[in-house]
Amino acid sequence: MPLHIKRFIFWGLVMLFLLDSAAVYLSDSQGKVSSTLLTQSARDGKLLFQEHNCTACHQLYGLGGYMGPDLTNVISQPGKGESYAGSFIKYGTARMPDFHLTDTEVDALLAYLKSVDKTGNSPIRDFDIQYDGTIRTASKE
Amino acid sequence: MKKEIGLVFIFLALIALVLGLFWGCAGAFQFVFPGFFDAVPFYKTRPLHVSFVISWIVLSAIGGIYYYLNTHFRIPLFSRRMAVVHAWIFGISAALICACYLYGKFGGREYWEFPAVLAIPVFISWFLFGFNYFKTIAKKTGTWPVYLWMWGTGICFFLFTFSESYLWLFPYFRNNIVRDLTVQWKAAGALVGSWNMLVYGTALFVMEKIKGDKQMARSKLAFLMFFLGLANLMFGWAHHLYIVPTAPWIRYLSYAISMSELLIFAKLIWNWRKGLGSIRRGFYFLPYRFLIASDVWIFLNLTLALFISIPAVNVFTHGTHITVAHAMGSAIGINTMILLSSALLIIGEATGYSFSERQKKTINAGFWITNISLFFFCLFLILAGIEKGRLVIENKLSFQDIMLHINPWLISFAFAGLGLFTGLLLVTFHPLLAVAHYLRKKPATVILENSIANS
């Protein structure tokens, strides 16, 4: 393969990649719900989630560790909710460490989880399989 | 003449591998036996494990590249001192990162859980590596074999995606949950793709060396495969994100690209059949062994990857241990086998050390224990994953009950992990001693021994 063709394909791919990256950076979530964290508390909560490495054991949208449950919808799942989640975060369990968080920190984490909950569903249980191997789901209103 | 700087990296890499395996076993047992080894809890052992094994992969690939440039292309490194600085920065930041994990100071995310400031030295070390690499190969005349392209691409993409994985520092990204998650996994997917470029380039180099066939890495086909792989690195990452409510085009594009890997797959089967039965002995016997093993694992892993890239399958397997099986299969089966092959080749050559029959037997035993353990390791993960995926979608049991249900598979998985650890210890023990010996000696004795070994 001559060098100029190699260069053409290579740089062509790089250009496409840059365009694709820009499009991804500008894209927002599907559906009507904006996924922007509006309150300061939720924003703090997100950073606390990182600082305590909650992802080592928990997933959001199926991404993260495997020891604990997926937390995407812990706020809205039947039988769970804010005070349920709050008591886990505050005291830990035999398997989940107690991080000795202050009440403000617990509230921040809950505010964050509340915002996450509004963006969608995980795991997805309601779906139709399409002929091309893709699935169709109802997005959260 | 100075000692080969590549060997320093290989030495650090082998140590990282052993430590990574140790923390991996600790984490696996903590996962199934709560309370096990409480001194360092699971949320610390997990990032320790991940960081050490990533270090193994990148350090051994980097060590190989430094070494091959210097010895095989006979192009002296643009700056040896820069490579030494690279090694020091890497070592110091690794020590700081470990300390952060052990003291529970996090702040980052998957793969880079350490506080964000530590990303700066990591970035600088890669920048130095890239600068040195391009300045060095600029001196090479004639057609570049495909692996030189792959290594260069891998380095550039590492720098790009590593920076991209820190876009969350900007509120525009951080404060939008879905956008942030999308960019995070775009970066993470491409990041793995970028070190795969380093590793697959190494595999091609080692193959060329063993076969003595210089055309293979310059052929049209080699370049077509490279471009296809590059397209996958660039656009194939969104299979992590099928269930995240991103814009739909992101998911469709990725699905289409992931399926193009079928071409690679078909080609592999074809080559594999042709290559059967041509086992070479002699000097390259050990490297060859490990390379063949990686071939088998590529085959198994791609089968799994293709399946779980189909959205209708992914919806069941996503977030289950099947993803882990895929990650471990490629990190150990493919990357580690290739990199061990390269490391054995380099150690044999550079240190002039030839393994005694007994040592070869140990390595051989380790080879088999590793591969057999890995097979069961992945199998148990897949079985646990299938069960979990089914039970989650069925939604009748609580999370705790689901975990109880799959615990027997996970316990078996932890023991298979112990097997892996044992196997890889047997493989790395003598090579590690050989490199340590080489690095401890004064340069003059090394040259003398080398010339004796080569004569």
Q: What is the CATH number of the domain that holds B413?
A: 1.20.210.10
Confidence at residue A90, expressed as pLDDT on a 0 to 100 scale: 95
What's at B243, amino acid-wise?
Answer: I
| Secondary structure of chain A in HEC code, one letter for each residue | CCHHHHHHHHHHHHHHHHHHHHHHHHCCCCCCCCCECCCHHHHHHHHHHHHCCHHHCCEECCEECCCCCCCCCCCCCCCCCHHHHHHHHHHCCCCCCCCCCCHHHHHHHHHHHHHHHHHCCCCCCCEEECCCCCEEECCCC
User: CA B139 to CA B74: how far, in whole Å?
Assistant: 10
Going residue by residue through chain B (455 aa), what tens digit of pLDDT does each one get? Answer: 578 899 999 999 999 999 999 999 999 999 999 888 888 999 999 999 999 999 999 999 999 999 999 888 888 899 999 999 999 999 999 999 999 999 999 998 988 999 999 999 999 999 999 999 999 998 887 888 999 999 999 999 999 999 999 999 999 999 999 899 999 999 998 898 899 899 989 988 988 888 777 777 888 888 888 898 899 889 877 777 777 777 777 777 777 777 776 677 667 666 755 664 554 555 677 888 898 888 888 888 888 888 888 888 888 888 899 999 998 998 999 999 999 999 999 998 888 777 888 999 999 999 999 999 999 999 999 999 999 999 988 888 888 999 999 999 999 999 999 999 999 999 999 999 999 999 987 655 555 555 555 54
Sign of CA dihedral B256, B257, B263, B264: negative
- Distance (Å) from the C-alpha of residue A12 to the closest C-alpha of chain B? 11
User: CA B353 to CA A106: how far, in whole Å?
Assistant: 59
Q: What is the mean pLDDT of residues A85-97?
A: 93
User: CA B268 to CA A88: how far, in whole Å?
Assistant: 49
Neighbours of B265 (CB within 10 A): 17
Tokens 């890889």 sit on residue: B424
Asked if B276 reaches chain A (Cβ–Cβ under 8 Å), the answer is no
Q: How far apart, in Å, are the Cα atoms of B182 and each of A15, A27, A132, B245, B251?
A: 20, 9, 23, 9, 11
Pairwise CB contact (< 8 Å): B186 & A6: no
Confidence at residue B243, expressed as pLDDT on a 0 to 100 scale: 73
3-state SS, residue B173: helix
Confidence at residue B116, expressed as pLDDT on a 0 to 100 scale: 94
Confidence at residue B67, expressed as pLDDT on a 0 to 100 scale: 94
Confidence at residue A140, expressed as pLDDT on a 0 to 100 scale: 45
User: CA A111 to CA A109: how far, in whole Å?
Assistant: 5
Mutate to test the interface with A, among B244, B323, B388 (most CBs of A within 10 A): B244
Pairwise CB contact (< 8 Å): B34 & A95: yes
Query: Residue A129: beta bridge partners?
Result: A135
With beta carbons under 8 A apart, name residues in chain A contacting B310.
Answer: 133
> In the 8-state DSSP scheme, what is residue B109?
B
3-state SS, residue B112: strand
**B427 is in which domain, residue-wise?**
4-454
User: CA B374 to CA B1: how far, in whole Å?
Assistant: 41
Asked if B181 reaches chain A (Cβ–Cβ under 8 Å), the answer is yes
Confidence at residue B455, expressed as pLDDT on a 0 to 100 scale: 45
3-state SS, residue B378: helix
Scanning B234-263 for CB atoms below 8 A from A yields 234-235, 240-248, 250-253, 255
Confidence at residue A110, expressed as pLDDT on a 0 to 100 scale: 96
Average pLDDT along chain A: 88
Q: How many domains does chain B have?
A: 1
Instruction: Compute the CA torsion angle B293, B294, B299, B303 (nearest 10 deg).
Output: 120
The token duo for A92 is 């830990």
**ipTM confidence:** 0.91
Asked if B163 reaches chain A (Cβ–Cβ under 8 Å), the answer is no
- Distance (Å) from the C-alpha of residue A50 to the closest C-alpha of chain B? 5
Q: Is pLDDT at A139 greater than 60 in this prediction?
A: no
Asked if B321 reaches chain A (Cβ–Cβ under 8 Å), the answer is yes
pLDDT tens readout for residues B42-85: 999 999 999 999 999 999 999 999 999 988 888 889 999 999 99
Residue A136 backbone phi and psi in degrees, to 5: -120, 130
3-state SS, residue B248: helix
Question: Which residues does B426 contact at the CB level (< 8 Å), separation at least 6?
Answer: B362, B363, B365, B366, B369
Before B248, cis peptide (omega within 30)? no
Residue B111 backbone phi and psi in degrees, to 5: 80, -45
User: CA A39 to CA A115: how far, in whole Å?
Assistant: 9
Confidence (pTM): 0.92
Contact B342, B289 (CB under 8 A): no
Contact A109, A48 (CB under 8 A): yes
Q: Is pLDDT at A141 greater than 50 in this prediction?
A: no
Question: Which residues does B73 contact at the CB level (< 8 Å), separation at least 6?
Answer: B137, B140
Residue of B nearest to A17 (CA): B234
Contact B291, B210 (CB under 8 A): yes
Question: Which residues does B235 contact at the CB level (< 8 Å), separation at least 6?
Answer: A16, A17, A20, B253, B254, B257
Contact B98, B113 (CB under 8 A): no
User: CA B102 to CA B116: how far, in whole Å?
Assistant: 16
Mutate to test the interface with A, among B44, B146, B178 (most CBs of A within 10 A): B178
User: CA B311 to CA B307: how far, in whole Å?
Assistant: 9
Q: Establish how many alpha carbons lie within 13 A of residue A138's alpha carbon, considering only the half-sphere containing its beta carbon.
A: 4
Residue of B nearest to A6 (CA): B223
User: CA B352 to CA B364: how far, in whole Å?
Assistant: 20
Q: How far apart, in Å, are the Cα atoms of B453 and each of B6, B338, B349?
A: 19, 25, 9
User: CA B227 to CA B229: how far, in whole Å?
Assistant: 5
User: CA B380 to CA B410: how far, in whole Å?
Assistant: 7
